[in-house]
Amino acid sequence: RALLYIHSVNIIHRDIKPANVLVNENCDVKLCDFGLARYIDPENASAMTEYVVTRWYRAPELLLADDDYTSAIDMWSFGCLLAESMTRKPLFPGKDVKHQVELTCRVTGKPTEEEIGAISNRQARDFLRKLPAFPRTDFAKLLPGVDAAGVDLIEKLLVFDPRRRLTAAAALAHPYLAEYRDEESERVANHTLDLNELEPPSEKKLGKDGIRALMWAEICRFHQHAPARQPPAATAALKAAAALKK
């Protein structure tokens, strides 16, 4: 549900892994750590770094240095995470990037020439073409003890070609999740995020003390025991920041 919502506003999390999924004693689940998250402007596409997502959960297009990726990278990571939760061990524990690509292709099968051609990085294409002709793994054998619906969901998430990978909406509609799905709790934004609607930060005008003052105010929101008074320099900077907004 979390991915459904953030993808609806063109935000990619870019670091889905077990450590970033929080579960409490009531089995309430929260997605955390948006430090690597990125907004994608559909009308102004720009290159993005491929060095995101912890290696074991990194989608093939990231491993192959393709900077034109989509929210499909989150769905690959989710597939890895789901498989790990069922088998209690990581699916692709690569030692380095090349090893990670090899482990991935041993499961997905060597990509077709069409899939290789879609990779923007020439060296990555050459590397893929030199790989042995790995057949696609039987996911039922890869995931022993997992029922057929669970195997099918993971198999449709761990697809080499991001264009054929399940979206968050399609994954939620999968039969495996029917027992747990609550459609009323699912949220989709009624409009995509427009960064032009947001007021740009005035860091240059605020200066170092001004930024410290804003950080202090944010800390005080969460820690009521924090001293009410701020350092003189920070207080003055905060007043100056307020004056700039008038």
Q: Taking Cα atoms as reference points, which of 103, 115, 110, 116 lies closest to residue 134?
A: 110
Domain ranges across the chain = 2-185, 199-245
| Known catalytic membership, residue 15 | yes
Residue by residue, DSSP assigns 168-197 as HHHHHTSGGGTTT--GGG----SS---GGG
Strand 21-23 relative to strand 29-31, pairing: antiparallel
pLDDT value at position 123? 93
Distance (Å, whole) CA 104 – CA 98: 10
Q: For residues 4-31, give the mean pLDDT.
A: 93
pTM for the full predicted model: 0.77
pLDDT value at position 180? 87
- Look at residue 215 and tell me whether its pLDDT is greater than 90: no
Q: For residues 25-49, give the mean pLDDT.
A: 78
- Look at residue 42 and tell me whether its pLDDT is greater than 70: no
Distance (Å, whole) CA 161 – CA 156: 11
pLDDT tens per residue across span 125-135? 999 999 999 99
pLDDT value at position 54? 83
Residue by residue, DSSP assigns 121-148 as -HHHHHHHHTS--PPPP-HHHHSTT--H
171, 149 contact by CB (below 8 A): no
Query: 2-185, what's its fold?
Result: Transferase(Phosphotransferase); domain 1 (1.10.510)
pLDDT value at position 79? 97
220 pLDDT band, cuts 50/70/90, is confident
238 pLDDT band, cuts 50/70/90, is low
pLDDT value at position 204? 53
